[in-house]
Amino acid sequence: MAATFAVDHASETTHHVSFDLAELTKMYDFTGLVVAVTGGAGILGSEMARALAGCGAQVAILDLNIEPAKALIHSLGPHGKQIALHQCDVLNRDSVAKAART
């Protein structure tokens, strides 16, 4: 399905943009994918985790401090099941390897 819209920037220039809605929707479908979010318990990471879960991803949050992410999981209701918490130091290879095994 194709869609077209015009953007008028309050100037004499109007830009016409075309895109395929089905293709666009597919780009945001993360069903069946696992996404690791480093620093995922922080301000930016937790919002990324929330958005990715909303797009169907299984999200692995890797963070030194996973405590704040527990509130995120709670706020997502049933979608909270899509988020797994891994306490680890992403700058430490052994710590990341250990998280990958759990």
45 phi and psi angles, rounded to 5 deg: -60, -40
CB of 50 to ligand NAD, least distance (A): 13
Binding of ligand NAD by 55 (CB under 6 A): no
CB of 40 to ligand NAD, least distance (A): 7
Binding of ligand NAD by 96 (CB under 6 A): no
- CB-based contact 70:94 (threshold 8 Å): no
CB of 64 to ligand NAD, least distance (A): 4
- CB-based contact 82:58 (threshold 8 Å): yes
Question: Among 2-10, 12-20, 35-43, 49-57, which window interacts with ligand NAD (CB under 6 A)?
Answer: 35-43
Give the strand pairing for 83-87 and 2-8: unpaired
Q: Any idea which residue has 């004499």 for tokens?
A: 12
CB atoms within 10 A of CB 98: 14
Residues that bind ligand NAD (CB under 6 A): 38-39, 41-45, 62-65, 89-91
